[in-house]
Structure 1
Amino acid sequence: MSAPHPDSPAGDSRWSEPPPGERSPGGPGTGSATGSGERTRSVGRGLGTGARATARGVRGAARVTGRAGRYTVLQARRAARAEGAGDSGLSRLIEMHAFNTAGDAAVAISLAGTLFFQVPTGEARGQVALFLGLTMLPFAVVAPLIGPFLDRFSHGRRWAIGATMAIRGFLCWVLATAVMTDSTWLFPAALGVLIASKAYGVTRAAAVPRLVPRSLTLVKANARISLAGIVGAAVSAPIAVLASKFGSEWSLRYAFVLFVVATILAILLPPQVDASQGEIRLALGPGSSAPATGRTARPRMPPAVAFALRANCGPRWLSGFLIMFMAFLLRENPIGGWSPQVLLAIVIGAAGLGNTLGIAAGSLLRRVNPATTVVLALLADAVAVLLAALFYGVVTLALLGVTAGLAQALAKLALDATIQRDVPERVQSSAFARSDTTLQLAWVLGGFLGIALPLDPHLGLWVAVAVLAAWSLYVLTGRRAADRAPA
């Protein structure tokens, strides 16, 4: 017999272990000890088996995730290169734009927590008003000079696009340092990021027509670019949120890396992006430059394009207004027990969903009249704002966000189609640059009014209804005048 267990009473058979030869599977005396040992070994084997099964599950999940990620990337690259886009170089522009929106999303997430939710409302409204006011001057002065500058100098567009990326990358690094040290460079650097982002939109619009293959329309090309931007922002946003958990500076450093990659992709764009032979600038207003100046006369923008551009200003104005007005309104006057962050996420998320649906619908609705589309988009925005003013609540705000995003996307695609149809190829780049600048200014004006109004939901929404109703009347009246005008 073995020695008694030190903690057990001597001679107690419950704590003694029989010799191996005397062990029995049954029996009242030894069965409990034998069963106990077997159970212990069974538990150990179970735990080991469970750990191995868990490890195998983790490895299997990692393999599946890796395969899914590789499949998604391959499918995205295949879609980007479809219908001749890979041969023309459009796929490179699509990939670059995905990195651009990914970086912008990371910057927006970082600054939302740094500049907005950590600053008192009154102070934040004043700072954002100054911020928007300063962005109007660069667009009003610099944007009309972008086209002539790019047309005069060779290799201008690739380097101009790359410069907007490189500037934002540098400023993101400056912002990361400013956030850590609470430096006075915080707001100037953020302003520079916004200006560079808007300048990118203008330069990219001027480059797109040169990369569209013959088998692809300009509308579908812009839809692909926009979808790539949505995917880039959707993939980047969770990563930026995770990085911001360790501090806002880390999401800004993450954005720095994205803009560095985008800068390289911009420089690697095909040489035809820089081609400017045979181009002339396009005038927005009536008439052309005076012959006495000795300059080449600039053609007038076609009436259909001017009409589509005016109609697009309504949805773009509403977008800027809603973002700024709702950001401060929901922060100070949340609805029910909802937190301001959740309410703002609902409105912005609904607008993003609507934008995605609009882009997807634009690639399917190929035979819709662009002029009818821009009018319906403008009127739909006015109706959605009216419903939100009458029945103010979370549901109507979400519906307003979806409608605003959907209308803005469809109206922009209709404008692109009108430019492609009515503007000669040699001036399409200038038309895109001018139209994008006008729409950006409309967005800024909407945002400016959004932060200037008192934080009263009914007052703000009724003002928006009045503005959109008046603008719709102006657009429709201008359309009738254009129809009556002689050809």
Structure 2
Amino acid sequence: MTLASDLARLWRARGFRRLTLSRLLSQAGDGMFQVGIATAFFFDPTQAASPSEIAIGFAVLLTPFTLVGPFVGPLIDRWQRQRILLVGNLVRVALAGTILAVLAFDGPLWSLYALALLTLSVNRFLLAAMSAGLANVVPRHELLAANAIMPTLGTIAAAAGAAIGGVVTFVVPTASDSSLALATLMSAMGAFAASSWAATLLGRRELGPTRPLAALRLGAQVRELGRELASGVIYLHRRVTPFQALAVMAAQRLLYGVMFVASILMSRYLLGDPAHPEDSLGEFSLVLAFAAAGFGLAAVVTPWLGPRVGRHRWIVACLVLGAGGQAMLAASSSRWALLAAAVVISLAVQGAKIAVDTIVQRDTADEFRGRAFTLYDMAYNVAFVASAAVAAAVLPATGYSAGVMAGVAVAYLVVAAVYARAPREPSPVA
């Protein structure tokens, strides 16, 4: 099977087609938004000069998603997910419009921070709802292919949206930062509105939950959120396979994050000229391009090879592959080693992630699926912030240490050995 044939087959399913359209528009708008406001104006970890500054940048960028996370899952299991997509994108239109007004009237900087971070947090809410609803619009045997294709298309859409912001900057190089932000924000608002419209093409109950939790008054609902999220953790733990898959994903994300921080610093101090940060950004962009190739390869290879070897074995194989990629960096700090490692490790991380998504969707009951993917997002972001903190503690200023790279490679193998012994079938839960 190929990516094209998998997409052609899945595209015949009306629900998948319409959900994908909504996601593409939503993530394209998010790419425009991040270029226009969140990254360009407020925080850009790739421009930081030390491991500790990078750690702070990622903490600022990702902590809001983690704080919002606990309130998301129970709502995804309580509210119709199609309505979440519809209303959530309209909320983002309103937030982006408010940012436009604040920029136009030269409002306080703290309000721009708050509005931008809130908009990014709503995006995580929408992505979690889409992931939870995907299993309702494709057959179970097609979940692996769908999980490979939809995030890949979403990433492409986000990159396309970011490219539109870049084109605006290139075409109007003499414009002020505020004018460029206004232009890209207006484009993002159009994409958010279009995504909301695309959500109306889906049936109100088409994305689930099939048995939504009972509606409560606001006060009672807030009190129940913590209890429901805790029940989700208990359910996943008793179900075994989705809980362990989430643990593997978090561990792999943490290890990948250390390499990501190292690649930022290596691009700046070893491959580029420290006196010219703009050159180091070009080097890091090259690393990202090779990493994107690895993500693309994962989307092609995983649907073909994953079912043949089994999802469990495929995750173990990806962890071993990640160790091999990390070993390249332990052997050399040259450009070829960093670029080769970027491809191999990104392939390993994304390949395992696709299988983890499928396990969580397949082995989690629909009424718990929203909470499962909220916990997924929380673990994903906490692991990445933790990886930046670990990198700040163990990496030198240049970002390269052969000992640290070798240690990360060994850690990949340890995680692979532990997960190889994990159960492959979920435990029944009443």
Aligned counterparts of 1:330 and 1:464: Cα–Cα separation in 2 = 16
Q: Does the C-alpha gap of structure 1 residues 383 and 340 become closer, same or farther in structure 2, counting only changes over 3 Å?
A: same
Which residue, 217, 226, 239 being the options, matches 2:164? 239
The equivalent residue for 1:275 is 208
2:32 matched residue in structure 1:
106
Q: 2:7, 2:248 → 1: CA distance?
A: 30
Q: 1:310 Cα shift?
A: 2.5
More displaced stretch, 271-280 vs 244-253: 271-280
1:359 is displaced (CA, Å) by 0.7
Structure-2 change in CA distance of 1:362 and 1:108 (3 Å): same
* Aligned twin of 1:73: none
Closer, same or farther in 2 for the Cα pair 1:182/1:209, shift >3 Å?
Answer: same
Identical-pair percentage? 21
Do 1:83 and 1:213's aligned partners in 2 also have CA atoms closer than 8 Å?
no
Given residue 440 of structure 1, which amino acid in structure 2 is its aligned partner? N
Given candidates 271, 287, 300, the residue that maps to 1:347 is 287
1:162·1:263 contact (CA, 8 Å) conserved in 2? yes
Query: 185, 189, 193: which is aligned to 1:256?
Result: 189
- 3-state DSSP of counterpart to 1:251: helix
In the alignment, which residue of structure 1 is the partner of 2:351? Answer: 410
**Separation in structure 1 between the aligned mates of residue 317 and residue 119 of structure 2, nearest angstrom:** 34
Distance 1:224 1:124, change over 3 A: same
Identify which of structures 1 and 2 has the higher relative contact order when contacts are C-alpha pairs closer than 8 Å and 6+ apart: 2
Superposition CA RMSD, Å: 4.0
Q: So what's the TM-score if we normalise by structure 2? A: 0.75
Letter of the aligned partner of 2:59 in structure 1?
Answer: L
Give the alignment of 1:302-381 within 5 angstroms. Answer: 302-331=239-268, 334-335=271-272, 339-365=279-305, 366-381=307-322
Q: 1:299 to 1:380 in 2, by over 3 A?
A: closer
Q: Is the 8 A contact 2:330 2:405 kept in 1?
A: no
CA contact (8 A) 1:164 1:200 kept: yes
**Runs of at least 5 residues in structure 1 that lack an aligned partner in the other structure:** 1-75, 281-289
Do residues 93 (structure 1) and 19 (structure 2) align? yes
Query: AA paired with 1:305?
Result: P
Counterparts of 1:270 and 1:467, CA distance in 2: 46
What is the CA-CA distance between 1:274 and the residue it aligns to? 5.5
Match of 1:341, as an amino acid? L
1:222 matched to which residue of 2?
Answer: 147
Matches within 5 A, 1:168-183: 168-175=92-99, 181=106, 183=108
- Name the amino acid aligned to 1:361: V
CA distance 1:190–1:446, change in 2 (3 Å): farther
- CA distance in structure 1 between the aligned counterparts of 2:318 and 2:107, rounded to whole angstroms: 43
Q: Does 1:396 align with 2:337?
A: yes
Letter in structure 1 aligned against 2:69: A
1:100 and 1:259 in contact (8 A); partners too: yes
Cα separation, 1, equivalents of 2:201 and 2:272: 49
- Alignment CA distance shift 1:408-1:339 (3 Å): same
2:416 is aligned with 1:442: no
Which amino acid in 1 is paired with 2:138? V
1:121–1:223 distance in 2 versus 1, CA, 3 Å: closer
Please say if 1:457 is aligned against 2:381. Answer: no
Q: Tell me the amino acid that sits aligned with residue 189 of structure 2.
A: F
Q: Which of 406, 411, 414 in structure 2 is aligned with 1:473?
A: 414
1:165 is the counterpart of 2:89 = yes
> Partners of 1:252 and 1:238 in 2: how far apart?
13
In the TM superposition, residue 301 of structure 1 has moved relative to its aligned partner by 4.2
Please give the alpha-carbon distance, in whole angstroms, between the structure 1 residues aligned to 2:61 and 2:308.
41
Checking the alignment, whether the CA contact within 8 Å between 1:317 and 1:446 is kept in structure 2 is: yes
User: Once structures 1 and 2 are overlaid, which stretch shifts more, 235-244 or 318-327?
Assistant: 318-327
Contact 2:18 2:202 in 1 (8 A): yes
How much has 1:254 moved relative to structure 2? 1.9
Shift of 1:91: 0.8
Separation in structure 2 between the aligned mates of residue 325 and residue 182 of structure 1, nearest angstrom: 37
State whether residues 384 and 403 of structure 1, in contact with CA within 8 Å, keep that contact through their aligned partners in structure 2: yes
The alignment partner of 1:374 has SS state of: helix
Residues 16-54 of structure 1: per-residue CA shift (max 9 Å, x gap): xxxxxxxxxxxxxxxxxxxxxxxxxxxxxxxxxxxxxxx
- 1:41 maps to what in 2? none
Aligned residues: 391
Verify the 8 A CA contact 2:85 2:126 in the aligned structure 1.
Answer: yes
Residues 367 and 239 of structure 1: CA distance in aligned 2, closer, same or farther (over 3 Å)? same
Alpha carbons 1:97, 1:229 under 8 Å: kept: yes
1:48 corresponds to: none
Q: Structure 1 residues 379 and 274, CA, compared in 2 at 3 Å: closer, same or farther? A: closer
Q: Distance in 2 between matches of 1:126 and 1:254?
A: 31
> Counterpart in 2 of 1:383?
324
Q: List runs of 5+ in structure 2 lacking aligned partners.
A: 214-226
Q: Structure 1 residues 447, 100: closer, same or farther in 2, change over 3 A?
A: farther
Alpha-carbon distance, 1:92 to partner: 1.0
- Report how far residue 433 of structure 1 moved: 3.8
The aligned amino acid for 2:248 is: A
Deviation at 1:410?
0.8
Larger-gyration structure (1/2)? 1
Is the CA contact (8 Å cut-off) linking 1:102 and 1:258 kept in structure 2? yes
Residue 96 of structure 1: how far off its partner (Å): 1.2
* Aligned partner of 2:134 among 197, 200, 208: 208
Say which is worse superposed, 130-139 or 405-414, in terms of deviation.
130-139
